[in-house]
Amino acid sequence: MQPPFDDSEKSARNWGMLCFLAGLSGCFLPWFAHVAGPLLVWLFKRNDHPFIDAQGKESINFQITMAIYALAGSVLLAITIIGIYLIPFYLVALYLLNILGVVLASIRASEGRNFRFWLILRLVR
């Protein structure tokens, strides 16, 4: 059985989870919102706890990488004639991967475990 968490630890876990969940703002707002949401949470809370800082950076890096994958993949597919028809399927697959990644990372952060995505660019350190 795990010992009870103190209030500061619970708060850090919740803010770490919110760093990831803020990435879902891109589902409802223009495309840059999926980067701006985690960025705002991280900028306001990064000095409060090292866990919030680490999870905020990971969330921002994930969202920036997903935007780069969407743009670069669309451009590469647009170069070929058949690829033009594949762009919507590619973007839907990335969209679903983004949602899945955010949900998994949020669950891990709520448990107080550091979450690291693989195959992302670590631009914010």
Summarize pLDDT for 16-61 with one digit per residue, the tens: 999 999 999 888 887 788 899 999 999 999 999 999 999 999 999 9
Closest CA to 69 of 96, 42, 36: 96
Summarize pLDDT for 64-123 with one digit per residue, the tens: 999 999 999 989 888 888 888 899 999 999 999 999 999 999 999 999 898 888 888 888
Structural tokens at position 11: 């708060």
pTM metric for this prediction: 0.88
Instruction: State how far the Cα of 108 lies from the Cα of 104, in Å rounded to an integer.
Output: 6
